[in-house]
Every structure is written in structure tokens, then in C-alpha cells.
Amino acid sequence: MRKTTKKVATKAAKKVAPKTKIAKKTKFISMKSAKDTVKINGEETVVLNSQSPVTPLETTAPVSIPEPVEEVKAQEEVKPTPEASAPVSIIQPVFHKKLNIGCGIHFLTNFGFENIDANPKYNAHATIMKIEDIIQQPGSIDEIYVGHCLEHLINPVKELKRWKDWLKTGGILWIVIPEHARVKYAVENGIEQMFTYEGIMKGHQNGDMNSPSTHKTQYTEATFMAQLIEAGFKKEQIKLIDAPYDECPYLFSRISWQLVAKITK
């Protein structure tokens, strides 16, 4: 009876063992099923885990990265370098359409003129510059006033030509100078009592021709007209004014020995 009982127990144990093996096999099969395939929209698709919920794959079009625009590439390739920078240009002075050349103390700012003088002591009201250094475009100036300056120049004809070139058609060149006959008459008749004939006609530097204040030319009406003609003006363009203060508003005194000329281009 004891042997029979042992046999029955052994058989029962054997019957239980296969169940355990089947369970292990089932687990192995479930692990392999991680690469199962399913049908989505009629097509077979491999899913990562058949044990997790299956969701249809998105059918959106792949995102394409646009190629760089050619203009952007060009901008990236061309980079400014110090060697490619534009050269610094020398800027000439920009003046008004009216020039007061060799102004001295006679400023015409209220009349719209640009005052120019070489003497630094006038820098509060004038542009300090030598007359020969002034540069203007041809036909760009309406009016030029040159009062008691022409007689101080070493080469007045050269400057007269330049001034003529700067004037617009119809532009006016005013010139005021001491003239021999007028000075002589004023001194001899007591009209001019402050200065002598020599002082007015030659300047006040005792004949020192290197001084800017010395008169380089002692003008007569004939020599003045000859210089204007040489500079390219015609006789009909030149008008000598008998009542200068009435016709020329820029004069600062009624000095009778002045020769005032209005030259129209």
C-alpha cells in the first residue's frame, strides 16, 4: 500500500511538471511576438510590441529642407575686407551760391554770401582760405563780390578767368578797387583826408611787395578794363557805376575814390 501511494504521488508530480514547461513556452512565445506584423489600411506593418495598443502610422509627407537661396549664398560669400573699402575722398568746401571773396571786415552774411578771407583773424565770420585754393563748379555761382581785393593779387587775370567760369549765365561779378584818377581827385580836393594818395594806391606796407596788404597793381580805368577783356569778358558786359551806393547795396561806405564795376556774364 505504501509503494502504491508513492507511485501515485510520483505520477501526480509528473503530471504537474508539464504544465510548468507549457507556461515557460507560452512566455517565450509572447516574447518573440514583439516583432509581430499587423495590417493597417490593408498593408502589413511591423510593430514594436504586439502586446501594446496598435495605432495607425501617420501618412504625412516627409518634411523637405529648402535649398539656400542663391542671393543669400552670394551675400555670405562676399564679405567686406579692409582692402575693399572705398577710398576716402577729399571734400572741397561747399559754399553758398554767392561768394564774398577777400572779405576782410566787410561781411555780407545778411545778404546770403559766403565770406572768404585768408586772414585767420576773421575766422569768426568767414571761411579762412587762400583765394587760389577756392574751388567751385563751372556755372554754379549766382553772384561774386570782390571788394578791395583785386589790387592785392599777384595774378589778378588768372583769378578773373576762374570767377568768370564759376558764374552762371546772367550771374554778376562786382569789383571794387581804388582807381588812380578818382583817388587823385579825392585827395587834391580834400574829400579824402585820412590817407594820402601813396597810402591808398600802394597800400600801407611801405612798398613791401611780399606783404598781403601791399597793392600789387595800381589801377587806372584803362588797365582795369584791359584785364577784364583779357579774362574773357566783353565790353558790353562791363558797367562802371557812377552812383555806386545806390546801385550796389553791398558797399559799406560812400568813398568817392572807389571804382565800382558790375560785370554780367
More confident residue, 12 or 220: 220
CATH number of the domain that 171 lies in? 3.40.50.150
Task: Average the pLDDT over 108-128 and give the result.
Answer: 95
Q: How far is Cα 109 from Cα 97, in angstroms, rounded to an integer? A: 12
> Is residue 203 in some structural domain?
yes
Total number of domains in the chain: 2
Same domain? 144 vs 24: no
Q: Is the pLDDT of residue 253 over 50?
A: yes
Task: Average the pLDDT over 181-206 and give the result.
Answer: 89
> Is residue 233 in some structural domain?
yes
> Is residue 207 in some structural domain?
yes
CA atoms within 13 A on the CB side of 3: 0
Same domain? 21 vs 133: no
Same domain? 108 vs 232: yes
Alpha carbon 47 to its chain centroid, in Å, reads 70
Q: Is the pLDDT of residue 80 over 80?
A: no
- Determine what percent of the chain is predicted with pLDDT higher than 70: 63
Same domain? 35 vs 133: no
Q: Residue 143's closest CA among 167, 177, 169?
A: 167
pLDDT at residue 90, rounded to an integer: 41
Amino acid type, 47? V
Question: What tens digit of pLDDT does each residue of 167-177 get?
Answer: 999 999 999 99
Same domain? 38 vs 104: no
pLDDT at residue 48, rounded to an integer: 42
Q: Is the pLDDT of residue 100 over 50?
A: yes
Same domain? 111 vs 230: yes
Same domain? 148 vs 212: yes
Task: Average the pLDDT over 148-158 and give the result.
Answer: 96
pLDDT at residue 32, rounded to an integer: 41
pLDDT at residue 51, rounded to an integer: 37
Q: Is the pLDDT of residue 97 over 80?
A: yes
Bridging pattern class, strands 141-147 and 98-101: parallel
Is residue 187 a contact partner of residue 201, using CB atoms and an 8 Å limit?
Answer: no
Same domain? 117 vs 215: yes
Mean pLDDT taken over the chain: 76
Q: Is the pLDDT of residue 124 over 80?
A: yes
Same domain? 143 vs 34: no
Same domain? 45 vs 167: no
Q: Residue 173's closest CA among 118, 232, 123?
A: 232
Same domain? 34 vs 157: no
> Is residue 82 in some structural domain?
no
> Is residue 67 in some structural domain?
no
> Is residue 76 in some structural domain?
no
More confident residue, 256 or 143: 143
Same domain? 43 vs 113: no
Cα angle value 155/161/167 (rounded, 5°): 135
> Given pLDDT bands bounded at 50, 70 and 90, which one contains residue 228?
very high
More confident residue, 241 or 87: 241
SS3 string, the chain, reads CHHHHHHHHHHHHHHHHHHHHHHHHHHHHHHHHHHCEEEECCEEEECCCCCCCCCCCCCCCCCCCCCCCHHHHHHHHCCCCHHHCCCCCCCCCCCCCEEEECCCCCCCHHHCCEEEECCHHHCCCCEECCHHHCCCCCCCEEEEEEECCHHHCCCHHHHHHHHHHHEEEEEEEEEEEECHHHHHHHHHCCCCCCCCHHHHHHCCCCCCCCCCCCCCCCCCHHHHHHHHHHCCCCHHHEEECCCHHHHCCCCCCCCCCEEEEEEEC
Choosing from 49, 72, 88, the residue where a domain stops is 49
Integer-rounded Cα radius of gyration of the chain: 53
Residue whose C-alpha cell reads 565770420 in the numeric block: 125
Q: How far is Cα 79 from Cα 95, in angstroms, rounded to an integer? A: 38
User: In which domain, by residue range, is 186 found?
Assistant: 98-264
pLDDT at residue 154, rounded to an integer: 93
